[in-house]
């Protein structure tokens, strides 16, 4: 039987309340090798700089829920064995990973490659892209959690590249006993990931790659490389420390022991392309 892989273009930006995620998603799709499998695009309204309304403490919640429903319907239409997601902010993993949890159950492990654990709730932070892993586990906003029919057991999660979590995040990780591996461990050998796969009897792997796990001095299309940023613009939020090769090595290692069935690439912020696009729209003979 041939495995079906669905490609999902999901340019959601309201989850991070950051319009450039929309362009970032489209560029990821454009830059990727062509696929002969099904491709779908989740309808997302064009970005606006108008303030987004909070509902239940979550920014643009009605738009987010509508897009989540649309993504789930597109996935159900194809019932794929595997899914690739071009995001958009990190919340784009919710519907695809929910589908994979339904399909593979406790044989599925989630490798969350990110400087941040994304387990906050509206009480800590209004932008829902920081809530997504918590929702998959079953914590946080009831309307996000309602989309997760098969909950992700915390032991089936490994967060790679995380460092210096905020107080609430550290308490959550300890309370749920979620496995983590630091940037230094990833760079050294990453064996913790192989041990986790073996320990948890993981056969299938859903990989969430937040590009902000990359060092912003080496990879410039991430939040922390925003042109003109001030020294303290992002407070005490952890910034990425990995290289592209570190990430590729980690994924290759994990994929040698478990079959990848999910891959999300999220939080692509192509600042130079955005500024160039805006410049082109102002030039004579072009606009």
The enclosing domain of 127 has a CATH number of 3.40.800.10
25 is a domain residue: yes
- Residue 74 CB contacts under 8 Å (≥ 6 apart), including other chains: 6, 8, 40, 42
Q: Are 126 and 59 in contact (CB under 8 A)?
A: yes
pLDDT given at position 1 = 46
The alpha helices in 149-230, defined as continuous H runs, are 167-176, 183-188, 191-199
* pLDDT band at residue 48 under the 50/70/90 scheme: confident
pLDDT, mean of residues 241-266:
98
49 is a domain residue: yes
- The torsion angles phi and psi of 130, rounded to 5 degrees, stand at -90, 5
**What's the mean per-residue pLDDT of the chain?**
96
286 is a domain residue: no
List 207's β-bridge partners, or say none. Answer: 111, 263
287 is a domain residue: no
pLDDT, mean of residues 174-202:
97
List 168's β-bridge partners, or say none. Answer: none
- State the residue for tokens 């992002």: 234
Strand blocks (E) in 118-258: 157-160, 179-181, 204-210
pLDDT tens, position by position, 56-110: 999 999 999 999 999 999 999 999 999 999 999 999 999 999 999 999 999 999 9
pLDDT, mean of residues 250-264:
98
Asked whether the predicted pLDDT for residue 127 surpasses 60, the reply is yes
185 is a domain residue: yes
26 is a domain residue: yes
Question: Which residues span the domain enclosing 261?
Answer: 5-280
170 is a domain residue: yes
Alpha carbon 150 to chain centroid distance? 19
69 is a domain residue: yes
pLDDT tens, position by position, 128-178: 999 999 999 999 999 999 999 999 999 999 999 999 999 999 999 999 999
pLDDT given at position 2 = 59
* Total domains, the chain: 1
pLDDT, mean of residues 103-121:
98
Asked whether the predicted pLDDT for residue 16 surpasses 70, the reply is yes
């Amino acid at each position: 039987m041939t495995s079906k892989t669905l490609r999902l273009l999901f340019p959601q930006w309201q989850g991070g309340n950051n319009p450039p995620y929309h362009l970032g998603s489209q560029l990821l799709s454009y830059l990727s090798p062509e696929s002969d499998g099904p491709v779908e695009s989740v309808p997302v309204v064009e970005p606006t700089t108008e303030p987004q309304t909070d509902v239940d403490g979550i920014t643009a919640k009605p738009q987010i829920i509508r897009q989540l429903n649309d993504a789930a319907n597109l996935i159900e239409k194809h019932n794929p064995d595997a899914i690739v997601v071009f995001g958009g902010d990190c919340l784009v993993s919710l519907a695809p990973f929910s589908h994979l949890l339904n399909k593979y159950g406790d044989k599925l492990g989630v490798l969350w490659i990110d400087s941040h654990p994304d387990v906050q709730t509206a009480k800590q932070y209004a932008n829902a892209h920081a809530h997504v892993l918590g929702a998959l586990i079953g914590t946080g906003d009831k309307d996000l959690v309602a989309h997760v029919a098969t909950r992700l057991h915390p032991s089936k999660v490994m967060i790679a590249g995380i460092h210096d979590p905020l107080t609430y995040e550290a308490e959550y990780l300890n309370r749920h006993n979620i496995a983590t591996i630091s940037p230094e461990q990833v760079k050294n050998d990453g064996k913790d990931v192989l041990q986790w796969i073996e320990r948890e009897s993981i056969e299938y792997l859903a990989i969430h790659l937040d590009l902000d796990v990359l060092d912003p001095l080496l990879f410039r299309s991430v939040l922390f490389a925003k042109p003109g940023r001030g020294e303290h613009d992002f407070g005490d939020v952890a910034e990425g420390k990995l290289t592209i090769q570190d990430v590729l090595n980690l994924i290759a290692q994990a994929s040698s022991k478990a079959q990848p069935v999910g891959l999300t690439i999220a939080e692509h912020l192509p600042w130079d392309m955005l500024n160039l696009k805006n410049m082109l729209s102002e030039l004579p003979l072009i606009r």
